[in-house]
Structure 1
Amino acid sequence: MVWKSIVALFIAVLGAVASYAETPDTSYHRPVAVETLSYVDVHYYHRGSPIYVKLTRPWEGLGCYLFNGQILQGRVELATPRGKGQKVSQLAISFPNAPCVKNKSTINLVMGAVEWDTGVTSAPHAQYPVVNYGMSQTGSVKTIQGSFNMSGILLMALSQRAKNQIPLKPGDVLGIDGVTLAIGKGPERSSVLKSTTRDVHLEKESLLLLVPESVAFPKGQEPEEAGLLERPSIADSAEPGSPAYLDIPLKSPNLPPPVEFQPCEPPACAVDLPSGEGATQGAPSRSIGIRELGYAPRPQQQLEDLNDEVALAWLGSKQLLVAFNPHALIERDRQPSTGAAVRRIHAVLLDPETSKVLSSADWFLPDAGEFMWQLSGGRALVHVANELRVYSEGMQIERQIPLDGPLEFVRLSPNGELIAIAILRETHSPEQHANLRESLGLEPPENVEIRVLDKDFKTVAQATTSSKLMPPALLNEGQVQLLAKPNKQYRLTLAQSTGDTTTIARFPSACIPEVSSFAPDLLLVGTCEISSGVHEYRVLRADGKIVLRGRTDPQTMSQSAQGNGKYFAVKTLHSTQVMVHGSVFHGSDLDYEEVRVFQSGDGRRLMSVRLQAPPTSHGAYALSPDGTQLAVIAEAKVNLFAVPVR
């Protein structure tokens, strides 16, 4: 059985999992590794200003336990910019009263070293490099503190540091030119960053090493910097020249020179040329109006991004499940018992051949996120209230999966063998959450509990990590990671179920690449040409070979893909004008949507359809399980097209 062989992947994972139930270790082993959550400088911060940092791994020592992802609050004790009569810029920061988990004690910490981005990092807003911690087992479920590797899925705690790197030394300030660090020399035993050439600042996600005050100032003495970052239990016996603390990475070995994607070589690959007006298919074989079912498009609504208000899925090969937000008021007496609903989704099951309504339902959702996913076998996974439901033909509920918290994301492998479900866990008090949100200007990171289900919806693995972890891109062989290097170079890697990691592609991009997976086992990779900034896209296999490549025009606003066993569809949304990413727009700014269907084997285009007045949603299109029909929502209709299958 495949799962038995996969369990062996855990054997190499080192370290013990810290348990809340156990008494924390009273000795000192290593400093606390944290990263800053926002930009900090001497112009906008002043004495008394709070700053927030987040642990990048669990920490235990001196009778205190701090969990991975825990938010700590520091305080600015001194902030001095350079200017007339002031030749030295200074930024002093203290970390008093860090709350220990479980025993309600606190610990004072002192900043001992600083580092900013000197190694290989993950791309911003992408999956993060692996950081392995310990493992425990409860019954048949493996629990990993910080990360796990199950069938190639590497769900990692937040860390942008590559492995096998040299350690920081006390007082080091790496990656920030012209800045020095005086440990514990500032007010309230704060550590002081100084510069005579620039105004001191810390970038967001700078790595800080914090040392317990009792270690930095033994019995009230001044800090002995030589031993601050050592493990006292092994420092005396360590070999000359060997670092006593090896867990904080900085620099990684140089990677091979970056190379472009593999060439697109016919007949295994096709170039997706612009279709033009004449190359698109004409009228649909059937259109089913849904305005009379309650569908109410809002073209004048102001948006900052595409939403998830409309979804479409096939139940079997002869039934279409259409779901949308009717934008009607939610009556109080119809609120679910699980709590207040943010929106109501009206679901309608249609017979495409007769246009008849076979069934309908109202779903109440506590969030505004994605709520429906196509499953293999002509089924759909739907988020309703506090559970996930599996619907089959006839809108029959095949299975219900309870959720004990807010749903963060759902991701599926293309073959449906694995489903990753993430639940948000609030780690702050309401007051601290509000303070963090005000200080950071966005929602603060929280803990996320991730469960991995097999095709029978049994939990096979679970882990806790950070909400800053972006949803993983899964292939049937494992998880894809996007890693960034300097000079806009990127690398796609695949962590396989065998435990091996292979490189899919190395490439440059002027923008942050976008990566998603879809059936049968393909990746859609969007990049930007370095010289011109033109958006390019490629469909890759797990071995890096290209199935399809093409370019989009400047008015392309969004691109997505989905597929089945033999075919896949790519949807592109076009706006009436060039849109700046992140800018506000209206539904009326969308000009048309184009959906193209291709053969998975060689990327050959089978058809292309172009429709006006598309919805402002990510999905709203679906290929039938046998690939013979394409359904697309536009102009307040479900439009059906026959796919010329070869």
Structure 2
Amino acid sequence: MPVPTRSYAIARLSALVLLALTVAVPLEARGPGPAFRIPLDSLGFQPQTKQFLLAGGSMLTLHYVDNSHLLLTFAVHKLMERIPDDPPGDEDRVVEAVLLETPSGRVLARTDWRFHDNGQYLWNLGHGRFMLRVRDTLTTFAPLANLASGRPFTQRGFLTTDRRIGAVLLSPEADLLVVESVERKPPPPQPKTPLFGPTPKPTPQPLGEPGDPSPVALSFYRLAIPSESGDEVEASLAGVAHSSSFGDIAATGAGHIAVVDQGKQQWGFDFRPYRGEGKQLAPFDSTCRPTPRFVSGSEFIAFGCHSGDSPMVLGGFNMKGDEMWEQNLFGDYVGTSMSFAPSSGRFALGRVLGEGSADDLQPVSADAFTGQNVAVYQTESGKQLLHVDCSPIARAGQNFALSPDGMSLAVIHEGAIEIYSLPPLSSQDAADVKMARALVPEASILPIDFGTMSRASAPEKAEPSPAASEPAPSQPATAPASAAGNASPSVPPPASAPAAAPTAPASQAQSVPAGDAEPEQPRKPPTLYTLPTDPEKKGQNKE
């Protein structure tokens, strides 16, 4: 048999290496190493602008569609068709979306979207559904459910408004959607660029009219997402509030967490449901005002401080009134993002490390950032299951994703999608998850009202429109478009209803306060939820 020459062997080896770079590469499970890597260049990925990523622009996202499929999106450089009368303040860009299976990395479908700003454009609603934002219109799509039809990225109309959307919040189990918006105003005049010297910065514009203390309208929607295959997503408007600025709210479809200042650097957490009596939960010692965030329907974490005002302490809490654990965070950070897997009692916390500007719109030096890491936690115990790095650094997050079953983590790192296997649930973990599900507060269909909400006689149902032909979305239902100030926006009627829904009285619409007043009396011990399996306390009367 002839022996291949050395040059032929080298050429053959080079060809095999190139072939290996175009498919998912299985790796040995050596400690924290990834189980598989999917090279990004095999997916048509283009390098992203570092300055936009560090400033908080949404340029790159990674989400699980189900436990074995991923949706990757990234900005691409392409010629764009000119839009007549395009607003001068638009920053148009094209983003490519790629649906792929794991661990093979095989591409199943892809499409392009055109956006007009650098804000977040994609949210994972769970059960294979996603929500997309183009300007001030929200649509939904389900790529796997529609894959067989040949139109996986067909969009359904969902919500739209004539106001400017400034923030969109989604609860961990996607049962509550909060759309924060302000009245649209004409863009301010742009300063002239001088022939010599630096370009002047544009003057920041106020969110509302002068003298308006609460220009931001918060519209709360309860979501219903069928778990079976399909692409339907239903939304019901449940309440409207007003605030002085855009911000985060620790809320689910059942209630919200209120932070109570008890004095002497001790804080209390109250769960205030939209129906029934509230519950006092565990206290929390912190030298700064803590920031709670739900990680499931019955568990939340809180960022706090043990000295100064840097939130370097993380605590875990449940609806039974327990502080389950508390631990320190190491390394200064300028931003966080999260991914959730409530069915396995796990969440992933990403942190952008470094010292940068708190204003995402201001230019940021690359030297101000030192890295981005992700840690996966078992919620009940606080145990860290995995700790890995992401690159490039994306201040907006969304460059990592926890699978729905919590058994794998996908991250973008060093030119590839790295997929890490996570340990199976122990018997204790499974028992903890079962208890956490038992503690989930009862769902409510009442209007959302926690002392700051505008009341509605009943939430109206915003039915999504029939699916439209790709790529243009179908005609969506209409979201509230309120005037600035404390007047309540009109509740939108169903898409098929011709009559307008009643408007809440203006006196019932209040502004969201900065926090609760300090109680006159010391806080009582927490009122605990009890389970049927809990032992009866001495002296406790049976009902």
TM-score by length of structure 1 reads: 0.49
Alignment partners' CA distance in 2, 1:551 and 1:418: 30
Alignment partners' CA distance in 2, 1:374 and 1:336: 32
Any idea what the Cα deviations from partners look like across 1:19-50, whole Å, max 9, x if unmatched?
Answer: xxxxxxxxxxxxxxxxxxxxxxxxxxxxxxxx
Alignment partners' CA distance in 2, 1:532 and 1:314: 35
Alignment of 1:437-456 (within 5 A): 442-444=206-208, 446-448=215-217, 450-455=219-224, 456=233
Read off the aligned partner of 2:221 and give its amino acid letter.
V
Equivalent pair of 1:316/1:379 in contact (CA under 8 Å)? no
**What corresponds to 1:236 in structure 2?**
none
Q: 563, 567, 571: which is aligned to 2:349? A: 571
Q: Check if 1:333 corresponds to 2:110.
A: no
Shift of 1:492: 2.9
Structure with the greater alpha carbon radius of gyration: 1
Any idea what the Cα deviations from partners look like across 1:254-296, whole Å, max 9, x if unmatched?
Answer: xxxxxxxxxxxxxxxxxxxxxxxxx994431222222462332
Q: 570, 585, 596: which is aligned to 2:375? A: 596
Change (3 A) 1:517 1:311: farther
Change (3 A) 1:502 1:347: same
Shift of 1:441: 6.6
Alignment of 1:278-293 (within 5 A): 281-291=31-41, 293=44
Shift of 1:315: 1.4
Alignment partners' CA distance in 2, 1:632 and 1:396: 23
Equivalent pair of 1:312/1:620 in contact (CA under 8 Å)? yes
**What corresponds to 1:413 in structure 2?**
171
Aligned CA RMSD, in angstroms, stands at 3.9
Equivalent pair of 1:568/1:600 in contact (CA under 8 Å)? yes
Q: Check if 1:368 corresponds to 2:118.
A: yes
Alignment partners' CA distance in 2, 1:420 and 1:581: 23
Query: Aligned with 1:504: secondary structure?
Result: strand
Any idea what the Cα deviations from partners look like across 1:428-464, whole Å, max 9, x if unmatched?
Answer: 78789x9xx9998754463426141331523242425
Q: Check if 1:607 corresponds to 2:358.
A: no
Any idea what the Cα deviations from partners look like across 1:221-258, whole Å, max 9, x if unmatched?
Answer: xxxxxxxxxxxxxxxxxxxxxxxxxxxxxxxxxxxxxx
Q: 252, 259, 263: which is aligned to 1:482? A: 259
Equivalent pair of 2:129/2:140 in contact (CA under 8 Å)? yes
Query: Aligned with 1:473: secondary structure?
Result: coil
Equivalent pair of 1:566/1:600 in contact (CA under 8 Å)? no
Higher percent of residues as strand: 1
**What corresponds to 2:68 in structure 1?**
318
Q: 340, 345, 349: which is aligned to 2:99? A: 349
Read off the aligned partner of 2:331 and give its amino acid letter.
P
**What corresponds to 1:391 in structure 2?**
141
Any idea what the Cα deviations from partners look like across 1:528-570, whole Å, max 9, x if unmatched?
Answer: 1136957111122234423443211233443333222114233
Shift of 1:320: 0.5
Equivalent pair of 1:573/1:590 in contact (CA under 8 Å)? no
Read off the aligned partner of 2:157 and give its amino acid letter.
Q
Alignment partners' CA distance in 1, 2:290 and 2:75: 31
Read off the aligned partner of 2:137 and give its amino acid letter.
E
Read off the aligned partner of 1:297 and give its amino acid letter.
Q
Read off the aligned partner of 1:404 and give its amino acid letter.
T
Gaps in structure 2 of 5+ consecutive residues? 1-28, 192-200, 209-213, 225-232, 426-543
Alignment of 1:77-92 (within 5 A): none
Change (3 A) 1:451 1:597: closer
Change (3 A) 1:492 1:286: same
Shift of 1:526: 0.9
Any idea what the Cα deviations from partners look like across 1:91-115, whole Å, max 9, x if unmatched?
Answer: xxxxxxxxxxxxxxxxxxxxxxxxx
Structure of greater relative contact order (alpha carbons < 8 Å, 6+ residues apart): 2
Any idea what the Cα deviations from partners look like across 1:114-165, whole Å, max 9, x if unmatched?
Answer: xxxxxxxxxxxxxxxxxxxxxxxxxxxxxxxxxxxxxxxxxxxxxxxxxxxx
Shift of 1:625: 1.5
Q: Check if 1:526 corresponds to 2:303.
A: yes
Gaps in structure 1 of 5+ consecutive residues? 1-278
Equivalent pair of 1:520/1:566 in contact (CA under 8 Å)? no
Change (3 A) 1:584 1:337: closer
Shift of 1:640: 0.9
Query: Aligned with 2:174: secondary structure?
Result: coil
Aligned length: 362
Alignment partners' CA distance in 2, 1:341 and 1:357: 29
Alignment of 1:297-312 (within 5 A): 297-299=48-50, 301=51, 305-312=55-62
Alignment partners' CA distance in 2, 1:574 and 1:422: 24
Query: Aligned with 2:314: secondary structure?
Result: strand
Read off the aligned partner of 1:529 and give its amino acid letter.
H
Alignment partners' CA distance in 2, 1:288 and 1:382: 25
Query: Aligned with 2:82: secondary structure?
Result: helix
Any idea what the Cα deviations from partners look like across 1:180-223, whole Å, max 9, x if unmatched?
Answer: xxxxxxxxxxxxxxxxxxxxxxxxxxxxxxxxxxxxxxxxxxxx
Shift of 1:349: 1.2
Alignment partners' CA distance in 2, 1:288 and 1:352: 9
Any idea what the Cα deviations from partners look like across 1:490-519, whole Å, max 9, x if unmatched?
Answer: 443322032433333443433443332233
**What corresponds to 2:421 in structure 1?**
642
The answer to which of 484-493 and 416-425 deviates more is 484-493
Alignment partners' CA distance in 2, 1:529 and 1:474: 25
Q: 356, 381, 404: which is aligned to 2:161? A: 404
Read off the aligned partner of 1:573 and give its amino acid letter.
R
Equivalent pair of 1:632/1:638 in contact (CA under 8 Å)? yes
Change (3 A) 1:484 1:470: farther
Alignment of 1:125-524 (within 5 A): 281-291=31-41, 293-299=44-50, 301=51, 305-326=55-76, 328=77, 331-333=80-82, 340=90, 342-392=92-142, 393=144, 394=147, 395-397=152-154, 399-405=156-162, 406-426=164-184, 442-444=206-208, 446-448=215-217, 450-455=219-224, 456-463=233-240, 465-466=242-243, 468=245, 470-484=247-261, 489-519=266-296, 521-524=298-301
Alignment of 1:46-57 (within 5 A): none
Alignment partners' CA distance in 2, 1:479 and 1:534: 21
Shift of 1:478: 0.8
Read off the aligned partner of 2:49 and give its amino acid letter.
R
Equivalent pair of 2:35/2:421 in contact (CA under 8 Å)? yes
The answer to which of 557-566 and 578-587 deviates more is 578-587
Change (3 A) 1:497 1:485: same
**What corresponds to 2:501 in structure 1?**
none
Shift of 1:588: 5.7
Alignment partners' CA distance in 2, 1:354 and 1:642: 15
Equivalent pair of 1:414/1:476 in contact (CA under 8 Å)? no
Q: Check if 1:617 corresponds to 2:396.
A: yes
Read off the aligned partner of 2:110 and give its amino acid letter.
S
Equivalent pair of 1:297/1:615 in contact (CA under 8 Å)? no
Change (3 A) 1:584 1:398: closer
Read off the aligned partner of 1:454 and give its amino acid letter.
L
Alignment partners' CA distance in 2, 1:307 and 1:336: 25
Alignment partners' CA distance in 1, 2:119 and 2:203: 25
Alignment partners' CA distance in 1, 2:87 and 2:357: 39
Query: Aligned with 1:475: secondary structure?
Result: coil
Change (3 A) 1:524 1:325: farther
Equivalent pair of 2:286/2:306 in contact (CA under 8 Å)? yes
Change (3 A) 1:536 1:401: same
Shift of 1:622: 0.9
Change (3 A) 1:336 1:439: closer
Equivalent pair of 1:414/1:518 in contact (CA under 8 Å)? yes
